[in-house]
Structure formats: structure tokens, C-alpha cells
Structure 1
Amino acid sequence: MLLLDLSTLAPEERAEAFHHVLNDSSVPNDVVHEAPEAGIRARFETWRVGSLDLFDVRSTGFEVRRTARHVRWHRDRPVVSVSLQTAGAHRAENAGERYVLGPDDIGVFHELAPRRYGWSGEGASWAVTIDMEQLGLPVDTVVKASVRLRTSPLHDLVLTHLRGMRRNPAALEADPGAAALGNATTDLVRALLASAAHAEDDRRVRTAMDESLVPRILAYTRRHLTDPELTPDRIARAHCVSRRRLYEVLGQAGISLEQWVISERLEAACLLLASPHHAGLPVSAVAARCGFTSPSHFTRRFRRTYGVTPREWRRHRCQPQPRNGVALGQDPTSQPR
């Protein structure tokens, strides 16, 4: 949903509108624009995925300053923001430290802690906000972790997960699995923060790691879906658990590992088959790229799931579509699911 596009407002109204959006969705802040005389530009979009609020902000240079005075006026349910810097280099000051956030960094800010944040020139940020009570970590833990996230072995895993959520937030918002995705994301962020803030043998780290085991397993498996050598034993070793424990925790979550992997690989194959950029890729190559070692096995599983062969799926998806969205010569009731 579009929250605000400053291009629709008169120049003299833009600063106030910018401040209103920031201060309406968070505690009060002081906002300083880099070059207001040259014109302020900004676009704010938001989505709701389960318990999470997602924001995309693109704007000219600015800095948000949150002081202890501002923090006292927090809302009833404070949040923790977890952000990716999608354009430009972002400056931050948190826990008494100043640092720069680039495209491979995760920025974390607790609403109940003073901080500074912003960028010069044209920049953009994508953020997830998590209710402090759902996150279940004290303010000092979040602040301590925020300046040492890269010390955690979970940093890159969480970074990949957040990047995946950013690709199509509107689709995630409408997906039946949105609530589960929101909970899994909260578990991953909690584990990352606990890991970065405390020693590995700390009880809080062990608890967070245990609670995030299922989402970590699924995130790891998604990252290696195209590898035909991905096996249950390899997944178990990567998470320091036995194969039996792997099946046990997934079973408690209602997940059959083999069926889940097949389903994820088939969804990836659907995207490749429907892509005009891969129209010349043989079906056997699509199967291999998606982690299937046998083209015939791939075709059987594809037909069983979607009711058509991979070639039929590609032919239907790639042919010209009329305005009503139904393929030419295609019975609307017989479209593959």
C-alpha cells in the first residue's frame, strides 16, 4: 500500500508530510533534510505480513535524530526495526557508536533507544518492524547486538531471508502462509540478536537457537535447493543435529522434509518454465537447475502436482494472453493450477 508520494504534493507541503509519516508510524523524531531548498522527494510504501509491518522508503537525503526525550514518548507497543540498505550508503549512530551501513549489512534499531540514521543524496531502505513483546528481548540486548551483528554466524542467513521477503512483499501479504512467515522471521531475528549480543554458551542464545531451528533449517534448505547433493544428513550436519532430531523437529511443525523440498523445487521450475528469458532452456536443463537428477522423475512429479507436463505448462504460460487473461483457445475452467 502506498503511504505517501511527495511528488503529488506542493513543494512547500513536503517536509511536513514527510515528518508526519515518520512520526505517525514511530516515536517522535527530529528530521533534518539534507538540501530542502533543492526539493524533497520521497515515496513510502507498506505491507502487512502476518505480525510484521514492512516498509519501503525512497527519498532524498535526510537524517532522523531520536533522543532520550523522544524515547519517553513511545507508543504502547514499541517495535524493533530491521532494515536493508537498498540504495546509497547509510549513516547510523547507535549504542554510542557511529558506523556506515552498506548493501550487505543489516541495520537494527530499537524504538526505546536513542539513535541517528539517514543518508546523503538519493537513497532507499527496506525495513521489517517487529513488536518488542513478540521479539522477547530486552532493550539492552537489542542495542548491544545492533553494532556487532556480523559477529554472529547467523548474519548471512538472516540477510538472505530478508532479501527474499523484499522481492515481492505484496504477494507475501496475500499468501495464506503470511502468519507463519511472520513468526519464522521473528524467530530468525531473535536468534541473530541473541547470538550477536551474548556468548555462544549463554542460555539466552541456546533458547533462541532452539526456537529458530525450524526456520533456520528451511532457510538453509531454500538456499541449497538447486544442489542435487542436498540430503537430510547434510542438512542435519549443517545445524549440528542428528538426522533423527531433524525429522523430529520438522514433524512437530507438520513438515515432511522430502515433500517440502520437492514442492519448493517444483515451484522454482514453474518460474523458469514461464520465464521468456529461459524459453530456449530444455526441460531437462530446467530439471537440473532445480535440483532434480532425473528428467523423467521431474516430469512425473510435475504432472502429479499440476496435472500437466512441464512442456504443456510452458506452452500455456508463454503463449500470448488476451485482455481477459485467458489463453487463446483455452477453456478457462481447464487452466493448470
Structure 2
Amino acid sequence: MIVTRLTTEGLPAAERFTWWYEKARAALLPVVVRSGHTGDFHASADVLELGSARITALTVQPLSIARTPELIRGADPECYQLSLPLSGRMQLSQSGRNAELRGGDLVFYDSSRPFHGRVSAPSGRARHIVAQIPKRLVPLPAGAADHMTAVRIPGDKGFAELLVQFLTQVTGRADQYGPADTAGLSAVLRDLFAATVTQCLAESADLPDENRRQALTLHIHTFIQQHLGDPLLTAARIAGAHHISLRSLHRLFQQQSTTVAAFVRGQRLEHACRDLADPRQRSRPIRAIAAGWGFTRPGDFTRSFRATYGLPPSAYRQLALAPRGAGTPPGGPAAAAPEAAAT
């Protein structure tokens, strides 16, 4: 994992704010930044690169930000941005709503829509964490942004609590993760974000029926991701966990042009494929990797893997772990950045 440190310390006082303004625009989003401390501005940030996702831990003096329609037309990374104040307070407005947050709360907003934010700090400096996730990695239900952007999400319960714990741990212990951990961290961020938003959507009383169906589908996908290693993950168990009938569950997946079994098998294969290409697991037996993702019979795993990727697991591992240029796996998530959304 690549970590970049940004700090105004050591710069002439008169240059600090301008320098920070440009660096923050590049590391986060193009926004207008204003502060009453431009004459002697202090700020720092640790930017953690997780492939196309990013987590940034910031310490800043009070400031305000604005993302305008002009800036959106000029550059839009098409991402969801998630903020977690750790100290100080934060206000954020988007889509006609205004969220007021204290330490431990969460809020998410859309880079493709204008927003305004303000960070205040009675102690002089505020600490908060910002995560950026490409929309293509988290296909939220249609209309989710209309209901959930600029809404305060308490970070002390449900999936939100797990998301807060993840963000604080990763930024607080960034030195414990290496480049090989990037894909795994990105997947955890994606899944926890999706689960948090889906849980909040499910609790929304005014959500239209179609949006509620899409929220349920996303919630089921997240549940499957969290239980892929369990060989007893059946359609009946998935349906029971979500209080729907087997028939309703199968109908949901038919609307996605797949089946429950095919979706689960595909996700298990994708994760096993990543493990086979992981240098840290070079000595781990293939049958152990397969079992870790719910394949109880090695023969079934080998047949499914060959049918999906065109060669057996052993050959795929050999190509994936070969010196650069010696060979390229012909397919699968390990052949490229393993960040495909779990849908």
C-alpha cells in the first residue's frame, strides 16, 4: 500500500495555504477551499492508495469547502466520498439536506453533485478521515444518493460501527500493510460501505418499492460476500437471513440474469483466484485455498476453475507467480486489478 505524507510544516507561513489548496485538490477532489487562517495555515494528511480507492487521514485548521457545478464539469472522478470526523465538528450540505456531525459520525456524498462543507475545531485543529470509492465498485440502488447523501449516520451501531473501526485502524496502523494488502483492503472498504448504506436505506420508511428491492439485493450480495468461506452457505440460509421466501430470492437473482448458486460460485472462484496469485500464499496448498472459500471437494473446485478461467488452478498459480514478463494469466481477477464490484 502506497502512503503519501502531505504537511505544511517547514514551508514559509505565507505559502502554506496555497500549497495545501493545490495538494488537497489533487489528493481529494477539486473544490474551492476557504479559511480564516490563510496567513499561517497548518495542515497535514496521510494519503493511503488502495488501487482506485483511497483513504486520507487529515488534520486541518478550520476551513470551508465547496464543489461547484463548474468544477464538476471540469473534472469528475465519479466517486462516493465518505467523511468521518474524529475531533472537531463538520457540516455538509448536498441535495437540499444538511448534516451536522461530531466525532464518530459518518456522512457520504457524491462527487457528481455540488456540495458545501465546513470543518470547525474549538481546539484549533480538527482530525477526520475521508474515503473515496469509485461508483463503479459500489453499484448502489438507483436513487440511493437522493435519499442518503448528506445524512448523518451514527457510527456506533450496525455496519457503520464496523466501518468506523476499519477506517481508524487502517489509517492508524498504515505501516502494517504492504502492497499485497491493497486489494484486500479495497474490498473490505467497498463491502463495508455498501453494507452501511444498504442498512440505512432499509431503515428508511420513505424509500420507494423499487429502491427497496435494489437495496435488498445489495444487502444480500454483501451477506454472501461475508459468508463465502462457509460451505453451508445455501439459498435457504440466505433467504432465511433476509426474511424472504426461497422463491423471492431466486426471482431477485433471475432479474440479474443469474442464479444464486452461480453467483456464489463465481464470487468464491474470484477470491480463490486472488489467493492463488498472492505471493504470500505461494506455499499454501491449493486444496486449502479452495476449502477456505467454501469448496469442500477439490475436484469440484478444479473443474469449476478450469471452466471459468480456461486452465487448472495449478497452472494459473504458476503463471501468476512467474517473474514479470515470463507469463500472464489468461483471465481472472488476478490478471488485473482485483477490484470488480461484487455484483
TM-score, reference length from structure 2: 0.62
d(CA) in 2 for partners of 1:244 and 1:297?
Answer: 27
The question of 1:253 aligning with 2:253 is answered no
d(CA) in 1 for partners of 2:238 and 2:5?
Answer: 45
Task: Say if 1:190 and 1:208, in contact at 8 Å, map to a contact too.
Answer: no
- Per the alignment, residue 91 of structure 1 pairs with 88
Identity value in percent:
20
Q: How far apart are residue 272 of structure 1 and its match?
A: 1.8
2:86 is matched by which residue type in structure 1? A
CA change 1:285–1:191 in 2 (3 A) is closer
CA change 1:157–1:214 in 2 (3 A) is farther
- Per the alignment, residue 34 of structure 2 pairs with 30
The question of 1:11 aligning with 2:11 is answered yes
1:75 is matched by which residue type in structure 2? P
- Per the alignment, residue 57 of structure 1 pairs with 56
1:137 is matched by which residue type in structure 2? D
d(CA) in 2 for partners of 1:302 and 1:243?
Answer: 27
- Per the alignment, residue 179 of structure 1 pairs with none
**Unaligned ranges ≥5, structure 2:** 92-97, 171-180, 332-343
Q: How far apart are residue 228 of structure 1 and its match?
A: 0.7
- Per the alignment, residue 106 of structure 1 pairs with 106
The question of 1:305 aligning with 2:308 is answered yes
Q: Which moved more, 1:245-254 or 1:92-101?
A: 92-101
- Per the alignment, residue 278 of structure 1 pairs with 281
- Per the alignment, residue 137 of structure 1 pairs with 146
d(CA) in 2 for partners of 1:109 and 1:93?
Answer: 13
- Per the alignment, residue 335 of structure 2 pairs with none
Q: How does 1:307-326 map to 2 (within 5 A)?
A: 307-319=310-322, 321-322=323-324, 325-326=325-326
Q: How far apart are residue 56 of structure 1 and its match?
A: 4.1
Task: Say if 2:60 and 2:126, in contact at 8 Å, map to a contact too.
Answer: yes
- Per the alignment, residue 238 of structure 1 pairs with 241
**Unaligned ranges ≥5, structure 1:** 173-181
2:56 is matched by which residue type in structure 1? V
Q: Deviations over 1:156-179 (max 9, x none)?
A: 68879999xx9559x99xxxxxxx
Question: Rg bigger for which structure?
Answer: 1
The question of 1:294 aligning with 2:302 is answered no
The count of residues paired between Structure 1 and Structure 2 equals: 289
Task: Say if 2:199 and 2:219, in contact at 8 Å, map to a contact too.
Answer: no
CA change 1:17–1:147 in 2 (3 A) is same
Q: Which has the higher contact order (CA 8 A, sep 6+)?
A: 2
d(CA) in 1 for partners of 2:242 and 2:64?
Answer: 40
CA change 1:113–1:294 in 2 (3 A) is same
- Per the alignment, residue 75 of structure 1 pairs with 69
CA change 1:65–1:247 in 2 (3 A) is same
